[in-house]
Amino acid sequence: MAPLASERMLSRTIGRVGVLRLATRALATRVPIVGGNWKCNPKSAAELPELIANINSCDTSGCEVYVCPSPLHVALVQGKLTNGAVVAPQNCNFTGCGAYTGEMAVEQMKSMGISWVLIGHSERRGEFGLPTPAESSALLATKCKHAYENGFKVIYAIGEPLPVREKGISAVVAHCVEQLKPFKEMTLLDPDKIVLAYEPVWSIGTGVTASPKQAQETHAAIRAWLAKEVGKDTADRMRIQYGGSANAKNAPELSACPDVDGFLVGGASLKAEFKDIVSAVAKAKGQKRPMSKGV
Ligand code: PEP
């Protein structure tokens, strides 16, 4: 590809090695990413066009965007996004197609042109009223491996319940680390394939957002663990979204946190303000999304 005029000028000014250094630094920058989790909404498929229009109204030039429709609506949304946003179903199995009643296989998604999937949401880990943990981190690592084998990228949600938060930051980090360990052991923490979504359970759907200080402290601690346990390059490049009552009002302040690389949004993703959350993080991180790298 011929260099742009600006690149030619830059090259003359600082020489080829300088350009390469700049390019390496640019690649190391984390492109923000925002997802909308529609959970088990909307009630009627007739409401989908408005929700899809919401996603299509997002400016994706400075931020990657994905949407997680309910399983019944995935096929009705896939193919309707016009701005580079993509569909990421809310779950997948770890075995593929076959006699697995009620399950969704990445093989089926792949045949529909889907290549991203969300796993580990606390509402699937049994945090919302189920008597037992429905999905363990070990199971989720197995799902992630199977998704990778099918060429998928994965959004992996982690986060602590309120009693753990009340014990303080060390307990919070220990809890998140336990959720990450099976992924580390199976060498799944590849920043080109996975996005982490830190979602404190006490803030999901409650209107109680983590303060920027709490979010930054937790994200930074997760990144420090990645640096120590997996490697500095992985830590520098891993995108960590914040999730938990994020909305257009609190997004600018949370986006200003250096270790917050975007949001996983539930309730507000069903509203017109979703696009403002995307704009807020794109503005705060202030870079254009590389065109060659799609979600
Ligand atoms: C979520 O579902 O992941 C979520 C963060 O929900 P909410 O934004 O409604 O808290």
Say which residue, 126 or 148, is predicted with more confidence: 148
Least confident of 38-52, 168-182, 274-288: 274-288
Residue-averaged pLDDT of the chain: 89
Atom 8 of ligand 1, residue of closest alpha carbon: 266
Give 54's pLDDT tier (boundaries 50, 70, 90): very high
Catalytic residue (one of 73, 121, 146, 219): 121
Q: Per-residue pLDDT for 129 more than 60?
A: yes
- Residue 198 CA to residue 263 CA, distance in Å, equals 9
In the sheet with 33-37, reading across from the earlier edge strand, the strands are 86-87, 64-68, 33-37, 262-265, 240-243, 194-198, 153-158, 116-119
| Cα–ligand 1 centroid distance for 228 (angstroms) | 29
Give 134's pLDDT tier (boundaries 50, 70, 90): confident
Domains recognised in the chain with CATH numbers = 1-29 (no CATH), 31-285 (3.20.20.70)
Nearest atom in ligand 1 to 39's CA? 2
Summarised one tens digit per residue, pLDDT across range 176-221 is 999 999 999 999 999 999 999 999 999 999 999 999 999 999 999 9
Active-site residue, 121 included? yes
Summarised one tens digit per residue, pLDDT across range 264-286 is 999 999 999 999 999 999 999 99
Give 290's pLDDT tier (boundaries 50, 70, 90): low
**Burial class of residue 71 (count of CB atoms within 10 Å of its CB; 0-12, 13-18, 19+):** middle
Summarised one tens digit per residue, pLDDT across range 73-125 is 999 999 999 999 999 999 999 999 999 999 999 999 999 999 999 999 999 98
Active-site residue, 229 included? no
How much of the chain exceeds pLDDT 90, in percent?
82
Atom 4 of ligand 1, residue of closest alpha carbon: 266
| Cα–ligand 1 centroid distance for 201 (angstroms) | 9
267 CB near ligand 1 (under 6 Å): yes
For the whole model, what pTM was predicted? 0.88
- In a mutational test of the pocket of ligand 1, which residue from 264, 271, 274, 277 has the highest number of ligand atoms less than 8 Å from its CB? 264
Q: Per-residue pLDDT for 142 more than 70?
A: yes
194 CB near ligand 1 (under 6 Å): no
- Residue 148 CA to residue 195 CA, distance in Å, equals 13
Tokens in use for 137? 């981190």
